[in-house]
């Protein structure tokens, strides 16, 4: 995806933050003076509206006040530097070559975040890079989820292992791993039922799937990939916290950043959790799931 297209998809959040910067300068603020101290409140409010979070927004603004800048471009550059510093810590592209095959990815998240679509796009991304992929339809509670995964399987050209509706997700995982090993498949992607992160019994089901996988491949799943909806703002951060506590999240996909002014949520997620962000979703198309690069994202955002 070209940079201009990424900037276009993040325009709502970008415009909200830039409005805050322009407000500071428009009110007569200059780095290091008293007018800046008063007018910086408008930038703080803009960051909070973009879902950077209250505490982190205050921290960022306080740091900007300590520096020197003369105009909106200078302030934008200082803000960009601060955000880049945070996001560079979580820049970590997915590397499926770090384990013996099959590399197992368990995809988790609540209903409605775009989990199954993300699996299809991820399968496309992997096959485009020469990897063979097998999908496990572990969301056995929703027939529509299995059907959607099968559509992606046909589109991408990869096998989908499924059981009857309402079947045991652990059994699906077992059969998928067995089949992948027999066929020398490079990557297995296991779908799981969308679940409320507050439901303890459903979190326990995820742990059960992990145990099943580990009996076949002791160091798997090699990636617990959490999908969160960026448009839900702070709720996405809450989900990331609780899934990480329950099963240990190793990578993140933040979806639906194109239709929201809350794209700043990526910043507090990175700042607090330090979990690698593998991809961002900025549209419905196959090419709209993009590898996350901190500097590129920051430039498009700010």
Q: Which of 1-10, 11-20, 69-78, 221-230 has the highest mean pLDDT?
A: 221-230
Instruction: Please give the pLDDT value at position 280.
Output: 96
Lowest-confidence region among 137-151, 242-256, 262-276: 137-151
Instruction: Please give the pLDDT value at position 77.
Output: 93
Asked if residue 240 has pLDDT above 80, the reply is: yes
The superfamily in CATH containing domain 3-88 is SRP54, nucleotide-binding domain (1.20.120.140)
Q: Which two tokens stand for residue 300?
A: 């498009």
- Of the two residues 201 and 255, the one the predictor is more confident about is 255
Is residue 86 within 8 A of residue 109, CB to CB? The reply is no
Instruction: Please give the pLDDT value at position 105.
Output: 98
Q: Tens digits of per-residue pLDDT, 184-236?
A: 999 999 999 876 645 667 788 899 999 999 999 999 999 999 999 999 999 99
Q: Which two tokens stand for residue 216?
A: 């076949």
Helix (H), strand (E), coil (C) string for the chain: CCHHHHHHHCHHHHHHHHHHHHHHHHCCCCCCCHHHHHHHHHHHHHHHHCCCCHHHHHHHHHHHHHCCCCCHHHHHHHHHHHHHHHHHCCECCCCCCCCCCCEEEEEECCCCCCHHHHHHHHHHHHHHCCCCEEEECCCCCCHHHHHHHHHHHHHHCCEEECCCCCCCHHHHHHHHHHHHHHCCCCEEEECCCCCCCCCHHHHHHHHHHHHHHHHHCCCCCCEEEEEEEHHHCHHHHHHHHHHHHHHCCCEEEEECCCCCCCHHHHHHHHHHHCCCEEEEECCCCHHHEEECCHHHHHHHHC
Q: Which two tokens stand for residue 245?
A: 């506590």
Split at pLDDT 50, 70, 90, the class of 27 is low
Split at pLDDT 50, 70, 90, the class of 30 is low
83-102 average pLDDT score:
94
**Sheet bearing 223-229, strands edge to edge:** 159-161, 133-136, 187-190, 103-108, 223-229, 251-255, 277-281, 289-291
Whether cis (ω within 30° of 0) applies to the bond prior to 221 is yes
Q: What are phi and psi of 115, to 5 degrees?
A: -65, -50
In percent, the amount of the chain with pLDDT more than 70 equals 92
In percent, the amount of the chain with pLDDT more than 90 equals 69
Q: Which residue has the tokens 């979070």?
A: 53
- Of the two residues 171 and 70, the one the predictor is more confident about is 171
Domains of the chain, residue spans: 3-88, 103-301
Average pLDDT, the chain: 90
Minimal CA–CA distance to 118: which of 253, 224, 275, 232? Answer: 253
Q: Give how far the C-alpha of residue 139 lies from the chain's centroid of Cα atoms, to the nearest Å.
A: 20
Instruction: Please give the pLDDT value at position 26.
Output: 62
Shared fold status for 3-88 and 103-301: no
Q: Tens digits of per-residue pLDDT, 107-143?
A: 999 988 999 999 999 999 999 999 999 999 999 888 7
CATH number of the 103-301 domain? 3.40.50.300
Instruction: Please give the pLDDT value at position 122.
Output: 98
């Amino acid at each position: 995806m070209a940079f201009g297209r990424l900037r276009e998809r993040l325009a709502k959040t970008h415009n909200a933050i830039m409005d805050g910067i322009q407000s500071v300068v428009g009110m007569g603020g200059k780095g290091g003076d008293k007018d800046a101290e008063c007018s910086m409140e408008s930038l703080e409010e803009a960051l909070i509206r973009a879902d950077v979070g209250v505490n982190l927004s205050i921290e960022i603004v306080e740091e900007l006040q300590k520096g020197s800048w003369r105009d909106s471009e200078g302030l934008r550059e200082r803000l960009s530097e601060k955000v880049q510093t945070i996001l560079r810590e979580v820049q970590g592209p997915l590397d499926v070559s770090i384990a013996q095959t099959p590399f197992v990815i368990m995809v988790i998240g609540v209903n409605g975040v775009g989990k199954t679509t993300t699996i299809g796009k991820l399968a496309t991304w992997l096959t485009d890079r020469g990897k063979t992929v097998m999908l496990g339809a572990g969301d056995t509670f929703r027939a529509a989820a299995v059907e959607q995964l099968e559509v992606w399987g046909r589109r991408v050209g990869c096998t989908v292992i499924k059981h009857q509706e309402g079947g045991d997700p652990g059994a699906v995982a077992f059969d998928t791993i067995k089949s992948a090993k027999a066929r020398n498949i490079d990557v297995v992607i296991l779908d799981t039922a969308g679940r409320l992160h507050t439901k303890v019994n459903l979190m326990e089901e995820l742990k059960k799937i992990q145990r099943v996988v580990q009996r076949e491949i002791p160091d798997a799943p090699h990636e617990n990939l959490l999908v969160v909806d960026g448009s839900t703002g702070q709720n996405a951060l809450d989900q990331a916290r609780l899934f990480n506590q329950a099963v240990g999240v190793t990578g993140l996909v933040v979806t639906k950043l194109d239709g929201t002014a809350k794209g700043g949520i990526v910043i507090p997620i990175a700042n607090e959790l330090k979990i690698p962000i593998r991809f961002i979703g900025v549209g419905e198309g196959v090419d709209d799931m993009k590898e996350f690069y901190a500097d590129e994202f920051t430039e498009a955002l700010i």
